[in-house]
Chains A and B, each alone.
Chain A
């Protein structure tokens, strides 16, 4: 029944790991050939791979794990998907109904444990309800603000026979999120935007989740209004990075121009972003003079961190279309003020060239490695994933995305170990595309076992490790806030990544001199199968620009020369 319902719902791939409590489902999978099962090496890997699959295809990722440790290992991935609004369906095995609550072997209260980290969850107690629950779970995961849904399946429910009644509709009885924005609000939004002298579009992952059409509408709106655009970490790719109206990412490691423009704007249109603390900095001093319009599908995101003047609840794609129509109706392009002074100001900020760095002849600067990686691979329109840390921020700064669904990163939860399995999931979804995982030497080790998955399933991911022998971001914060006391942030006893790759049956490459960088990147792309590049970069480089947590947008540090000591209470808040 379970496999049939999944097949009807168009599931073609499941990421999973078998175990006692899901053996009946695995037996059914064995007997069919419509659904491909990707055997991972750790359940956390399954959840991140499913996230990568979901983020690149726009379809929910499906995970299948056993009870107890299988389910608890999936919790990090579920939380990650919750924070980044990724649609996942996680099927977990459970001990037989009669044993629930008895501390049976491999029993865990999965629904209880996952309640705060899922959008919704089900414990299936009646076999006949299985099809309806599975249909409903997919509907809930995809509609409204997307998120992970757990279906906990007692083993005897998996085995029991019942009549399969195909659900007529895949809706939920009472859950019906609002998708269309209120006309009155749309009207006011355009009246404001039309009169703005210093407008800005600040957009996030919600635009990506709303589908490629939404990104197109965003582009159209930017072109009609001539407003500058900045993206959050999760929103990169929604607006073409190569376009001149794009200011780059905003926030803690965002660009000088994006953060200054946010601070000085007079009308801010936030689409599918949530005023996260890494974006706003000091909330009291966040964009003090602007009229803030917030478009979000989740009412609870509105006025959560920052008070906004005009909330519009609904789907980002739908509302962007409404805004476009209203802009034309109000003849916005003819009636808006001249934005030349605003763009002149932005150009002056751009002239600071905040992403510049001191290049060196004898050692690869981390920024340089990504600049070259971008230059040598961008024509292939790759999917790029990252782990979490300095390399992630550098990748966000230096790798430009012109299309949505190309960028996979753990924004909300900041999960080290996300990037590689997510890249595997993306590669499974699109086998012919170049998929690059940009990693650090510390975070790649958190799910390195998935190399085995990649080899088994021909997921030819290229892993680009920026190896500085440190947990770089931890060390950077120790530099900035703890007088350079590097408490346990040195990656001692690192494995030889080249040998490690070879041990798994992949190709390993090492590069440590700038002159060899380009050739190594080319070789990485050309070599068939999974490739691990150990790119030895400058060890002590820090990631700038940066505003300290709790600082305001204009207090941006451009290099380590500008660091000032802070008191403990400030450090504790971040």
Chain B
């Protein structure tokens, strides 16, 4: 029954108690039950009440996605689970740092494309740049693809952070 149905991608937001091991519980659930993690971000968002927010992009059939949410909700340290993909419109952003090395025409072209993508230069030497780019995953993928011909050295990126649109929150 689990194998049928089309694969969907969902962005899930969790509010968790920021205590030792909470991330291991969440990740262990995914590995132990064979679910996919496409990206995962975590940071404390309220130091007073010691709450962290975890954003997970995952994929599976609708039934699997429902199961993932129910299993996450069952973790004692998880206080809220929201499926941003089905609960209405949301905004989602990655940050990427992209190092490109090159000289001459390639260097100029990299800088020009960075401008088109509204990437910021956060480090530069005479033969390299580090660009900072914020946007949806697809935009960042496209920029990285373009940099491959222009001396791409390495990439660090966060995975998605996401919030629902509108006035209400989790």
Contacts and interface: CB of A to CB of B under 8 A. Distances in A.
A174 B17 contact: yes
Given A111-B21, A302-B70, A116 B1 contact: no
Contacts of A305: 1
A303 B66 contact: yes
A169 B66 CA distance: 33
B67 A303 contact: yes
A136 to B, nearest CB: 9
B32 interface: yes
B1 A175 contact: no
Of listed A123, A174, A303, residue having the most chain B CB within 10 A:
A174
B9 interface: no
A284 interface: yes
Interface string A288-305: 000000000011101111
B20 A123 contact: yes
Contact of B1 (A125, A283, A298, A300): A283
B71 interface: yes
Interface string B6-34: 00000000000100110011001000100
Contact of B25 (A115, A145, A174): A115
B132 interface: no
B79 interface: yes
A474 B63 CA distance: 34
A112 B17 CA distance: 18
A173 B76 CA distance: 10
Given A174-B79, A284-B1, A112 B24 contact: yes
Contacts of B24: 112, 115
Given A120-B76, A305-B1, A300 B70 contact: yes
Contacts of B79: 173-175
A304 B64 CA distance: 8
Interface in A455-472: none
What interface size band does chain B fall in? 10 to 19
Among B1, B17, B28, B78, the most chain A Cβ lie within 10 Å of the Cβ of B1
B44 interface: no
B32 to A, nearest CB: 5
Most chain B CB within 10 A, of A111, A112, A116, A307, is at A116
A299 B25 contact: no
Contact of B32 (A116, A140, A172): A116
A15 B144 CA distance: 60
B51 to A, nearest CB: 9
A60 to B, nearest CB: 15
Interface string B47-68: 0000000000000000100110
Interface in A120-160: 120-121, 123, 125, 140, 145
B23 to A, nearest CB: 11
A111 B22 CA distance: 11
A18 B20 CA distance: 27
B116 to A, nearest CB: 45
A305 B67 CA distance: 10
A473 interface: no
Contacts of B73: 299-300
A119 interface: yes
Nearest to A121: B21
B74 A298 contact: yes
A299 B1 CA distance: 18
A300 B71 contact: yes
B66 to A, nearest CB: 6
Given A116-B28, A306-B1, A299 B74 contact: yes
B28 A304 contact: no
Contacts of A283: 1
Interface in B129-164: none
Nearest to B74: A300
Given A116-B28, A120-B76, A299-B74, A304 B21 contact: no
A140 B25 CA distance: 16
B38 to A, nearest CB: 21
Contacts of A123: 20-21
Contacts of A302: 70
A119 B78 CA distance: 12
Contacts of B67: 300, 303-304
A294 to B, nearest CB: 12
A535 to B, nearest CB: 41
Given A284-B1, A300-B70, A115 B17 contact: no
Contacts of A307: 1, 63
Nearest to A149: B76
Contacts of A284: 1
A452 to B, nearest CB: 36
A115 B28 contact: yes
A173 B17 contact: yes
Contacts of B25: 115
Given A174-B77, A299-B73, A300-B71, 6 more contacts: A120-B77, A121-B21, A125-B20, A174-B17, A174-B79, A300-B73
The 9 closest A-B pairs by CB, nearest first: A300-B70, A174-B79, A120-B76, A299-B70, A175-B76, A300-B71, A116-B32, A283-B1, A300-B74
